[in-house]
Chain A
Amino acid sequence: MNKEKKINQSKNVTRRDFFKIGAVGAALGLTSVSKATENTMANVIDKATDSAVFNELDEEPFDFKPGFEYKRFDEINTFQSTGPMRRDEKVIPKMIKFIWPGFDNNQPGYRQVDWALSKAGQSLKFKMKSLEGKWEQDRFDFTILDMKPSDMEDDSKEKPDILKILEGNYVYPEKAPFQTKQEATDAIKRAARLYGADLVGITRRDERFDYKAFFDPKNGRRDWNDIPFEPKTVIVMAFEMDYEAMTAAPTHVADGATGDGYSQMHKTSYQMAVFMKCLGYQAIASNNDVGLSIPYAIKAGLGELGRHGLLITYQYGPRIRLAKIYTDFDFVEYDKPVEFGVQEFCKRCMRCADACPANAITKALEPTYEPEFEDEGNWFVNPGIKKYYNNHKKCFDFWVENGNGCSSCISVCPYNKPDFWHHKLVDKISAMLPGPVHSFMREMDKIFGYGDTYDEKAIKKFWSSRNRKYLGHK
């Protein structure tokens, strides 16, 4: 009887039941596998070390001098505005030399091919330069959107919205229906990543870090009244510059990476401004104009300020360029500033200060509220905030002599490393250990051969076809 029952039971397992059991089994298997990968020892260690290394700050990370009236910076004092140069006639002939430095085919890193790499890298920046100043976005490419309404079949048709957006300050009249702030934040960050940003943070607009007034040689002086809306939010984006090219600093090859970073900034910030306008919000693309990029990047949680005055990110170190979008959209999750031990490390490292060919980077142990040197003619130094003050006039003089933007301080910085696991391990260990270890880490970084400048091998390596498969298969 029992035997019969068993046979009947086995007969009752149909093909459909078999598939059902299979599907349940597969689902269980997948769940357990995904759970297992989440709980791997590596993930557990990563999470534990992240919480020990990264410190998200609720308060602002800036230390303003007590009793000192911090003044907003004027764009005319930036390098791009050539303000300091205009005040010093001796600089103008130098500036011309800098713009058209030429080349020397007998000097590696300064040959015509190196010079071409540098200038072509920046070319998109020059092409889109007008976007920085005009607040309205010129088209720089010509597409079907260049058709005038009269070209269309129906003359009575209004201009398409996208054409109006591309032409000026028009914003799409319908606002995008985001349900949550997180959804909006995710959309903005994903779009920025698609258009080429490597890091994206979002912060509130902070007037202290906006330029007091604007200036560019093409459009002259303007102020905030010329901006057609009140920005509430700043989206800050960082763009990685090529590691291999940067190891060739301070030659034209490294400048090629810098120039390409500038072009990338202009391209992506323009696309993001159009993206925000298509979402129904006002936006302006900002690169080095409108406001100070580094304080905004710090506020947006992209990194910390280094001794060399550059932003140091966890992912790429100082090997990045920054761009911003000012918008009136504020239905977003704002990012918090973060600390991961950079300022402590910079106190003892000083590799940038040692390597600077112009001796422009301070070797002061502690940051100060104002420069320790006499600032001739207000060369983009804004006192009242605690940091390392560097002599930008000396820096610029070397740029002129060298014929490009140098970048030695970026190249030698121990945080400037390719994206490999062992560098992240060293960074984390270094962040968790006290000061004297940082001096040891700095020496080890040198001994291990990182951060050489004027390195002819780096130039040869950059141009070499070894290990590069330009056709994909060879």
Chain B
Amino acid sequence: MDIFKGVEIMFFWLGVLSTLAVVIMVHLHKVYGLNWKTWITSGFGAFFFVFCVAWSVSSVLEGEPQAAALGLVFFGSPAIVLFLITRRMILKKSNKNS
């Protein structure tokens, strides 16, 4: 069995990604003071991002490249949209504060 590829290693990296997402969100909260709406958009964005990675990597591992590509489109685009909304909300708030 390979050591550095396969679904087990994917889940390890998903754990790392999820932890990073939480760390970034806490950091943003400390710096900008996120309100509940921003927490929700960033939380869902992170969820879609992690899910997108999980789906696409799994599809590659099972040998279905089309499913991997479509996974990026279907689950990756909501993640990007939610991250952009979060960014906009943070910028709006920081502009107001300044």
Complex CA gap A421/B54 in Å reads 10
Mask for A430-464, Cβ within 8 A of B = 1, else 0? 00000000000000000111100000000001000
Contact of A422 with B58 in the complex, beta carbons under 8 Å: yes
Contact of A420 with B7 in the complex, beta carbons under 8 Å: yes
Contact of B54 with A422 in the complex, beta carbons under 8 Å: yes
Chain A residue at smallest Cβ distance from B67: A448
Complex CA gap A422/B51 in Å reads 10
B61 interfacial contact with A, CB 8 Å: yes
Complex CA gap A450/B67 in Å reads 8
The secondary-structure label for the interface of chain B is helix
How distant is A137 from chain B, measured CB to nearest CB, in Å? Answer: 38
A328 interfacial contact with B, CB 8 Å: no
How distant is B39 from chain A, measured CB to nearest CB, in Å? Answer: 20
Which residues B22-48 have CB closer than 8 A to chain A? none
Chain B residues closer than 8 Å to A449, beta-carbon distance: 64-67, 70
Which residues B54-71 have CB closer than 8 A to chain A? 54-55, 58-59, 61-67, 70-71
Q: Select which of B62, B65, B66, B70 is within 8 A of A420 by beta carbon.
A: B62
Which residues A38-69 have CB closer than 8 A to chain B? none
Which residues A410-436 have CB closer than 8 A to chain B? 418, 420-422
Chain B residues closer than 8 Å to A244, beta-carbon distance: 63
Contact of A418 with B62 in the complex, beta carbons under 8 Å: yes
Chain A residues closer than 8 Å to B64, beta-carbon distance: 448-450
Chain A residues closer than 8 Å to B54, beta-carbon distance: 422
Contact of A420 with B61 in the complex, beta carbons under 8 Å: yes
Contact of A421 with B67 in the complex, beta carbons under 8 Å: no
Indicate the size class of the contact surface on chain A.
10 to 19
Chain B residues closer than 8 Å to A418, beta-carbon distance: 62-63
Which residues A397-418 have CB closer than 8 A to chain B? 418
How distant is B31 from chain A, measured CB to nearest CB, in Å? Answer: 30
How distant is A105 from chain B, measured CB to nearest CB, in Å? Answer: 26
Contact of A461 with B63 in the complex, beta carbons under 8 Å: yes
> A422-B54, A422-B55 in contact; A448/B66 too (CB < 8 A)?
yes
Chain A residues closer than 8 Å to B71, beta-carbon distance: 448
Contact of A447 with B63 in the complex, beta carbons under 8 Å: no
How distant is B41 from chain A, measured CB to nearest CB, in Å? Answer: 23
How distant is B55 from chain A, measured CB to nearest CB, in Å? Answer: 6
Complex CA gap A39/B66 in Å reads 36
Chain B residue at smallest Cβ distance from A472: B1
Complex CA gap A450/B63 in Å reads 11
Chain B residues closer than 8 Å to A420, beta-carbon distance: 7, 58, 61-62
Complex CA gap A421/B8 in Å reads 11
Mask for A202-222, Cβ within 8 A of B = 1, else 0? 000000000000000000000
How distant is A363 from chain B, measured CB to nearest CB, in Å? Answer: 26
Contact of A421 with B7 in the complex, beta carbons under 8 Å: yes
Chain A residues closer than 8 Å to B58, beta-carbon distance: 420-422
How distant is B4 from chain A, measured CB to nearest CB, in Å? Answer: 14
Chain A residue at smallest Cβ distance from B55: A422
Chain A residues closer than 8 Å to B65, beta-carbon distance: 449
Complex CA gap A421/B61 in Å reads 12
Chain A residues closer than 8 Å to B59, beta-carbon distance: 422
Complex CA gap A461/B65 in Å reads 12
Chain A residues closer than 8 Å to B63, beta-carbon distance: 244, 418, 461, 467
Complex CA gap A418/B58 in Å reads 11
Complex CA gap A264/B63 in Å reads 25
Chain A residues closer than 8 Å to B55, beta-carbon distance: 422
Contact of B61 with A447 in the complex, beta carbons under 8 Å: no
Contact of A447 with B70 in the complex, beta carbons under 8 Å: yes
How distant is B87 from chain A, measured CB to nearest CB, in Å? Answer: 29
Chain B residue at smallest Cβ distance from A244: B63
Contact of A448 with B62 in the complex, beta carbons under 8 Å: no
Which residues B64-82 have CB closer than 8 A to chain A? 64-67, 70-71
Complex CA gap A461/B64 in Å reads 11
The 10 A-B residue pairs with the shortest CB-CB distance, nearest first, are A449-B66, A448-B67, A418-B62, A448-B70, A420-B62, A420-B58, A422-B58, A449-B67, A422-B55, A449-B64
Given contacts A244-B63, A449-B66, 11 further A-B contacts (CB under 8 A): A418-B63, A420-B62, A421-B7, A422-B54, A422-B55, A422-B58, A448-B67, A448-B71, A449-B67, A450-B64, A467-B63
What are 22 A-B pairs with beta-carbon distances under 8 A?
A418-B63, A420-B58, A420-B62, A421-B7, A421-B58, A422-B54, A422-B55, A422-B58, A422-B59, A447-B70, A448-B64, A448-B67, A448-B70, A448-B71, A449-B64, A449-B65, A449-B66, A449-B67, A449-B70, A450-B64, A450-B67, A467-B63
